[in-house]
Structure formats: structure tokens, C-alpha cells
Chain A
Amino acid sequence: MNSYLELQSVRKRFGNAAVLNGVHLDVAEGELVTLLGPSGCGKSTLLRCIAGLAVLDGGRIVLQGRDLGGLAPRERQVGMVFQSFALFPNLTAGENVEYGLRMRGESKRGRRRRAEELLALVDLEDKRDVYPHHLSGGQQQRIALARSLAVQPKLLLLDEPLSALDAQIRKNLRSEIRSIQQRLNMTTLFVTHDQEEALTMSDRVCIMNKGVIVQEGTPEQIYMTPRTEFAARFMGSYNVMTRPEALRLFGSLEGSSDSYALRPESVKLIGMEEDPSGHAGRGKRIVDGTVDSVSVLGTIVRYSIEAAGVKLTIDALNDGRLIGIGERRNVRLALDCSQLLQLEKEGA
């Protein structure tokens, strides 16, 4: 496959600290790839290197067969949306959208028409003559999106575009960005530290840590089979155990890993009064445990349970059935050995 965007061992340091340690990535045309990682993992720096706002110390960035090295940001045909919106405060929403076309010297009429199209695309036609400070955060970010799309970039970079917004707006804008991206078949790199955002929006997710991509795959692959302890912890409430802990819980183990992970919803809870035999079988195991605490998170109920000296987080569907299990109660856990994941060593 000839990839649309190619990153080849991209390196970047700030002073003595290496921020990007040789990043490789191939992105296909029309694909939305998410760079997911904690703050300081280098994901934003990578984006800025692609945009040309930071200078590479090593490696190559190739977009549609053209090496971007040495090109100024304005020559790269790359669009970018910032976390802080970065709308020009002295221009109206419409003028902001037109800005890139104005810099290209396009005619006033052409600019106007294109701006209207894009305002319609982000559903803000009526805000053309409004100044940014009169728009809500979500509206500002949609204008910023329209502004970067107006010049028809070859690649769209989104740098945590939703982080400065309220939870509800964030969710709406999430699906809106995704649908616009798909409609325009816009190749997009999306940076976030929010795993839910990454899982719901992307074609492919790359988990970054300490300046390298530690794992990449579809959202399902990433969620179901984290490869390292870092990925498992970062992807959510995975229970990460040492080998001895996993041994105590499961009796016997496959493989020779030092650490194992267990998805919180893969464990079934059984009340003491129920008959556990229905859960027995090959590769299954029943263990006794004590409930430390219970919290209801809407559609799921999260239990904190201690079993065989291991603290576990277990999620169950909130079907009203298990609510009766209070704190410090004894329960039985039905474990499925096939759900236990072996984790690779960090940095392997």
C-alpha cells in the first residue's frame, strides 16, 4: 500500500529531553488516526512537527509523496485546529473562515461563497457576522474547523480540539467532527488524551508513551487486547496484576509474562445464595471475594472487590439484579481464563 502520509523515525528534542524518539506511522487517504497518550508523551509535538510549527531533529515526513522537511507551515497544505480555538478576535466568524483564502488572494466573491459553504457544513450559517467573543466554546471550535477546511488542506491536524469544552458539547462535537471528516474523506490526525474520544472517533488508534507509538490498531483491537501494562492502564479500568497475583486468582497461567490484565466487565458476579454451578466449565473458575465499595455509574455498576488478596475493579450492567450486594458483603466471582491477557514488558 502506498500510504498518503508517512512518518519515518521522526525525532525531536527540547534541550536535553528527547520528546520524540523515532516515530513511525503510515496513514491512508481519508483515514482518521488518533494519537492517544498522557500529557507529555509527545503527541502534540508530533502534530506540530507535521504542521511545521516545530523543527524536526531527525526523520522524514512525507505527504502525498512530497517531503515536508524544510517547508514553512504555509507551504505544507496542512490544516490545524487548536485546543484553544485560536480564532482571530478582530475578525467575524465569516472573516475567520475566509482568512486562508484571502491570504491566497482569492476574489472576494469566491471567498464569500466558500465561507458560506463551510459555515453551512458546520451548521453555523447564521453566525457569519458574529465576532468570536460572542460565540460559545463549541461554536468557536466549529468555526475554527471550518476555517482550517476552507483552504482544502491535504491533511487535517486536530490538537485536542475538544479538551476545552464542556462534557455534553464535547460529545456532540465529537460525532459532528467525525461525520464531517467522513463526508469530506479528509485525512485526519487527531490528538487526545481521552480514551473514550479515541475509541469512538477513530479508524485507527495509536497509543503513545515517552515519545514513541507503543501500540496501534483499530479501536476494538486496542481496547480488547492492550499489549503492555501502560496501554492496559491507559485504556481504562483494566485490572493489571503481577504474575503471583494472577496465579493466586486463576490457579494456573498460560505463558510466562510478568504481568497480566483483566477487563473489568469480563468477570461475572454471583450472589452467595445463587448456585454457582451454571458458571462452571472448562477454563472457568469460581473465587470468593469481599465487596469493598460499590458505585453506580449510570448504565453500569462498578464494584471494588478483594479476592485472593487481589484488589479488582469489576463492572456489571446496571440491571437492578445485583444492587442488593452491599459493601463488605461476600460474593463469588466467575472468572474466565480466556479473558486474561498477557502483557509484554514495557518498551518491548
Chain B
Amino acid sequence: MISKKKRYRLRGRLWVLGLVPFAVMVLAFQLAPVWSMLSGSFRSDADSRWTWHNYYTALNSPFYLKAIENSLLISAYSSLIGIVVGLVCAYSVTRFAPTVRDRILMLSNMTSNFAGVPLAFAYIILLGSNGVFTLLFREWGWNVFDGFDLYSWTGLTLVYVYFQVPLSLLLLYPSFYGIREQWKEAASMLGASSWQFWRSIGVPILAPAIFGTLGILFANAMGAYATAYALVGGNYNLLAIRIGSIVSGDVTNQPNLGSALAVLLACTTLLAVSLNAWMTKRSARYLTGAAKAPPRKGFVRQRGTGVALAEAKEGTG
């Protein structure tokens, strides 16, 4: 009797087996590497002893400090530009009829596949030293772009902006549907001008979505590697590029220093992404009131966001 009961209970727990392969894979390829990296970052490259030295080097060497600064700056600039352009375009796209809107979004979604290595290459064709526009402007005698160099920071920011814009557009446009026409109407009946409405109601409601998207864009740019790598190999002093060359042994073999830098990079992106998570929760608060009238194209929009997030890794870099 007892054994039967035991066997029954055992059978009731057999579902655990379904989780075993998942646990093994995650342990082997996610948790173990994270642990190895974390612990490695506290070990000396010289004698494997526990030390803070790697972080000290990372945060004190002018070389690495510059890399961190460059990464932060290019991420901040490209995300801010991406947000502004994305915001304007997202508002504008919601003014179109759904069929036109979906076509525009599809196109911008499609181009967001065009990132990383192919994107860098396309920009070389367009704006490189022998690029179409470079030649065109030279022929027309325009010298606006005379000082422009694709392989400079301005150039790199320009390319980064290119992959930030569609992402920003795809992430932001649904929240414009969260601003209901009746709020505008109610505000106008209470004496608010369009400008007053946006200042007192519209922008505060959009704010969480804007900050959240900013987080995603920032993380996206911080982690971007392929674009910069393809544009000029390992020559840019960017955090991601530095980590890559340290670890793959191009320059020096200092895996623990690389780990420390990687941990620092991961900290910024984790922070940025958690900003997004926090903001999403906040904006859900505003939208629960509006949730009574479910958006008609809910499915498409949800998928759009999913796909946009799929490309959050520097498009496909």
C-alpha cells in the first residue's frame, strides 16, 4: 500500500523531468559563464589571486576610461537623437489610416534587419571616401560635408542613429494610441489649447514610454559591436570593441581585465533595461483606465513590439 502511494506521488512529480534539459542548458551556457566572468573579474591576470585590481585598472587607466566615456557618449547621443526622431515619426504615423500606417511600419521594421555588418558596408558605399554622396557633393561643389569623415565619431554616431530610429519608432508608436482622442476633446472643452494639452496631459502620459524606450536604445547602443567593428575593425576605442579585442587575444591576453570591463558594460545595460521595465509598469498604470476600450489592432501591435525587441540587439549585430 505504502509503496503504491509513494509511486503515485513520484508519478505526480515526474513533470520535473521536463525541466531538466532546460536547467542543464541554462546552467551551462548562461549561469556558468556569468559566474565565471564575475569571479574572473576579481582575479588577477598575473597570479589568479583575489583582487580589485581589474576594476581599478578599468576605471583609472586613461585608455579604458576613454573607451567607457566614448561608449557612454555615443550611446547617449544616438539614443537621444533616436528618441526625438522616433517620437516625431511615431506621432506622425498614428495620423495615417491603419493600412498606410502598417505599411510604413512594415518597411521600417524590414530595414531594421539591415544592421551590423551590412549596414556599416552600406554607409561606406553612401558616405565613405568614395561614397555616392561624397562624390555627388563634390561634383555639386557643396562643401557642407567637407569636414565629414564616416570613420570619425560623427560618422559612427550617424550609423548608430540609423539603427536606433526604426527601433524607437516601433517601440513608441503604440503609446500614442494610449492617448485617447477623448482626452484631447475633454481638455479642449475645459479651455486647454493643443499646446497646453500636450504639456499637462499628453507628455506626462507618454513620459514612461519615452524613458523606457530610451533605456532600450541606450542598452542597444552600449552593447553594439558589429557596426563599429565592421566600419573600422578594432580601431575605435569603444568599450564593446575593447572587450572584444582583449578577450579574443588580438592585443594582449588579459581575460580577467576583459571580464571586469564586461561586467561594467553589463551593469550599464542592465540598468538601462531595468529602467525600461520600471517605466513599463508605470505606463501600464495610466493605460489600465484606457484598457476598457481594447485597441482594435492589438495583435499586430503586440507583434510589432516583439519584433522590435528582437532587433533590440543592434538590429542583428
Contacts and interface: CB of A to CB of B under 8 A. Distances in A.
> In the complex, A touching B, CB below 8 Å?
yes
Interface of A: 51-53, 72-74, 76, 78-80, 82, 84-91, 99-100, 102-104, 131-133, 140, 144, 147-148, 151, 164
A254 B178 CA distance: 59
- Shortest Cβ-Cβ A-B pairs, 9 listed: A100-B190, A86-B182, A103-B191, A89-B286, A73-B188, A90-B204, A86-B186, A74-B191, A103-B192
B186 A80 contact: yes
Contact of B189 (A73, A89, A102, A104): A73
Given A74-B192, A89-B205, A103-B196, A133 B187 contact: no
Nearest to A72: B188
B285 A133 contact: yes
A90 B201 contact: yes
A87 B187 contact: no
Contacts of B201: 88, 90-91
The prevalent SS among residues of B at the interface is helix
B147 interface: no
Contacts of B200: 88, 99, 102
9 contacts: A53-B188, A53-B189, A74-B193, A80-B189, A82-B186, A88-B183, A90-B201, A104-B191, A131-B285
Interface of B: 180, 182-183, 185-193, 196, 200-201, 204-205, 285-290, 292-293
Nearest to A84: B182
A131 B292 CA distance: 16
Contacts of B188: 52-53, 72-74
Contacts of A86: 180, 182-183, 185-186
Count chain A CB atoms within 10 A of each CB in B187, B191, B193, B288 and give the residue with the most: B191
B289 A79 contact: no
B185 A90 contact: no
Contact of B292 (A78, A84, A102): A84
A104 B182 CA distance: 20
Nearest to B203: A90
A140 B182 CA distance: 15
B69 to A, nearest CB: 36
Contacts of A89: 205, 285-287, 289-290
Given A90-B204, A133-B288, A151-B190, 10 more contacts: A52-B188, A74-B188, A78-B189, A82-B182, A88-B183, A91-B201, A99-B187, A99-B190, A99-B192, A148-B190
A298 B285 CA distance: 41
A51 B190 contact: no
Nearest to B180: A86
A147 B183 CA distance: 13
Contacts of B191: 74, 100, 103-104, 151
Contacts of B186: 80, 82, 86, 88, 144, 147
A42 B186 CA distance: 20
A52 B293 CA distance: 24
Nearest to B293: A84
Contacts of A131: 285
B185 A82 contact: yes
Contacts of A85: 289
B189 A74 contact: yes
Contacts of A132: 289
Contacts of A52: 188-189
A84 B293 CA distance: 9
Nearest to A164: B292
A86 B181 CA distance: 9
Contacts of A84: 180, 182, 292-293
B294 to A, nearest CB: 12
A90 B188 CA distance: 17
A222 B290 CA distance: 37
B184 to A, nearest CB: 9
Nearest to A85: B289
Nearest to B205: A90
A91 B286 CA distance: 10
Count chain B CB atoms within 10 A of each CB in A52, A73, A80 and give the residue with the most: A73
Contacts of A100: 190-191
